[in-house]
């Protein structure tokens, strides 16, 4: 377990930033739960701790991080099925997602057995809206509401590190599915082009599944949202990624 985690790269450009990240893929869907922390305080947060809590606790212990909160991008089982359990264990609050995902969170108990993951309904301590900020140690992340994959999906961005945690909005070479209840393909495209792209081409991102990438790479080559694909309006239909 720890070997797999240690093999994941730290982000080179963060050498001079107090932000550190460790990605821990969880659930059979290999969802990128991420431990983010501030080296000035060694206080941190888990984003999307969907399951495999023993591995997540081990990551915090290995890096000497005091977990002070849990951040959630959206209400899907693989992202937050066990967030409530972890929050209770650590005695920390849950911030996010946007309240429009309340219906997803309310069905976590029922969705769990269908995917072989134990899910538990929880009530976030703080729902987030576009323009909010969340604090982790001495770090401040900006919150962007990016609906489309789910109506209440949010993205966390740390401007100083040029790093975004985007959940299932955008992947390397793909975008989130929009065939779920209240999914909306155009909303997702709009969120990517009007909220993510303005953060800058040199912005690296941790997606909900799969490898990291950056916006420049996706604007060049992503078949759904590259500049050329959108200019031709050829994008359409759902992506194949969870």
> For binding to Zn ion (CB under 5 A), which residues are involved?
76, 78, 168, 208, 242
* Residues in CB range of 4: below 8 A, 6 or more apart: 25
Pairing of strands 204-207, 163-167: parallel
- Region at 154 (left for phi over 0; alpha for psi -120 to 50; beta for the rest): beta
Residue 223 CB, shortest distance to Zn ion, in Å, is 19
Smallest distance from Zn ion to CB 31, Å: 5
Contacts of 33 (CB under 8 A, 6+ apart): 23, 24, 25, 26, 46, 47, 48, 49, 50, 52, 56
Which residue, 101 or 132, is less far from Zn ion as judged by CB?
101
Least CB distance to Zn ion at residue 115 (A): 11
The CB-of-186 to Zn ion minimum distance in angstroms stands at 18
Helix (H, G, I), strand (E, B), or coil: what is residue 143? strand
Nearer to Zn ion, 56 or 65 (CB): 56
**Closer of 168 and 218 to Zn ion (Cβ):** 168
CB of 169 to Zn ion, least distance (A): 9
Which residue, 76 or 219, is less far from Zn ion as judged by CB? 76
3 state DSSP class of 33: strand
The residue (of 76 and 158) whose beta carbon lies closer to Zn ion is 76
E strands, the chain, are 19-26, 31-38, 43-47, 66-71, 94-95, 133-136, 139-145, 154-158, 163-167, 170-171, 174-175, 204-207, 213-214
Rg (CA), the chain: 17
- 171 vs 222: CA distance, rounded Å: 9
- Residue reference for tokens 């023993």: 54
Centroid of chain to Cα 107: 20
Q: Give 97 or 137: the residue with its C-beta nearer to Zn ion.
A: 97
Beta-carbon contacts of 61 under 8 Å, excluding residues fewer than 6 positions away, are none
Minimal distance, residue 17 CB to Zn ion, in Å: 26
Nearest-approach distance from CB 178 to Zn ion, in angstroms:
10
């Amino acid at each position: 377990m720890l070997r797999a985690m240690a093999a994941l790269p730290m982000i080179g450009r963060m050498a001079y930033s107090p932000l550190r990240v460790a990605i821990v893929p969880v659930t059979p869907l290999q969802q990128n739960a991420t431990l983010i922390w501030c080296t000035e305080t060694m206080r941190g947060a888990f984003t999307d701790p969907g399951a495999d809590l023993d591995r997540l606790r081990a990551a915090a212990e290995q890096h000497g991080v005091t977990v002070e909160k849990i951040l959630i991008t959206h209400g899907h089982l693989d992202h937050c099925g066990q967030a409530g359990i972890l929050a209770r264990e650590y005695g920390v609050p849950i911030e996010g997602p946007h309240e429009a995902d309340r219906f997803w969170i309310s069905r976590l108990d029922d969705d769990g057995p269908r995917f072989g993951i134990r899910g538990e309904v929880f009530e976030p301590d703080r729902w987030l809206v576009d323009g909010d900020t969340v604090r982790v140690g001495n770090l401040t992340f900006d919150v962007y509401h990016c609906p489309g994959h789910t109506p209440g999906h949010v993205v966390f961005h740390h401007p100083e590190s040029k790093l975004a945690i985007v959940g299932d909005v955008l992947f390397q070479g793909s975008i989130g599915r929009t065939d779920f209840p209240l999914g909306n393909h155009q909303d997702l495209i709009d969120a990517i082009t009007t909220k993510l792209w303005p953060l800058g081409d040199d912005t690296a991102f941790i997606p909900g599944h799969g490898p990291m990438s950056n916006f420049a790479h996706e604007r060049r080559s992503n078949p759904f949202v590259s500049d050329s694909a959108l200019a031709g309006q050829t994008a359409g239909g759902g992506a194949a990624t969870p």
